[in-house]
């Protein structure tokens, strides 16, 4: 039996490299850099990091950043971070051609974001993201080609004074 890689707490971790869409590659292959499971950043840095990854088409990695935030932030922010992570996974499913999975996760992520108090913490554009997800769900279909630009939603509201 092959021994699995484990973290310091003994939880199994998959150490195999992944491609830009998060798919496992053969052992020893060169993949994209992994996001540490224990990533700890201030909320604004989690959001900026995830936004940069989304903008570069690395939605799976953005999901990992947002999942790290979800696991490290206070419980009252769980719906916010979980919803954002689910939207990033939905984008990954679109990139992989899995329309059904994308639709499910867009709806699930929107549902989580709908639970967030307004105004949302950390200037997250909850209402804008819920609207973006609803439009995208309406446009998904087996023969619809979603442009990469539509898969880069703004996670936060533009600050006053930016134009």
pLDDT reported for residue 71? 92
pLDDT reported for residue 9? 66
Per residue in 117-146, is it b (16+ CB within 10 Å) or e — as a string?
Answer: eeebebebbbebbbebbeebbeebeeeeeb
pLDDT reported for residue 6? 59
pLDDT reported for residue 5? 59
pLDDT reported for residue 38? 87
Measured over all CA atoms, what is the biggest interatomic distance in the chain, rounded to whole angstroms?
59
In angstroms, the CA 122 to CA 150 distance is 23
pLDDT reported for residue 28? 87
pLDDT reported for residue 113? 98
Positions of the chain with pLDDT lower than 50, given as ranges? 2, 160-163
Domain 43-151 falls under CATH 1.20.1260.10: no
Q: Which ranges of 42-77 does DSSP label H, i.e. alpha helix?
A: 43-55, 59-72
């Amino acid at each position: 039996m092959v021994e699995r890689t484990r973290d310091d707490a003994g939880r199994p971790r998959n150490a195999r490299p992944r491609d830009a869409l998060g798919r496992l590659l053969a052992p020893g292959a060169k993949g994209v850099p992994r996001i540490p499971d224990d990533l700890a950043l201030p909320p604004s840095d989690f959001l900026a990091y995830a936004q940069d990854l989304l903008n570069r088409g690395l939605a799976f990695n953005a999901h990992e950043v947002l999942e790290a935030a979800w696991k490290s932030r206070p419980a009252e922010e769980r719906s916010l971070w979980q919803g954002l992570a689910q939207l990033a996974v939905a984008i990954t499913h679109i990139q992989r051609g899995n329309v059904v999975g994308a639709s499910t996760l867009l709806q699930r992520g929107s549902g989580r974001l709908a639970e967030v108090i307004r105004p949302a913490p950390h200037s997250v554009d909850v209402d804008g993201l819920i609207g973006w997800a609803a439009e995208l769900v309406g446009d998904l279909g087996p023969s619809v080609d979603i442009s990469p630009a539509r898969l880069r939603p703004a996670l936060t509201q533009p600050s006053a004074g930016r134009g």
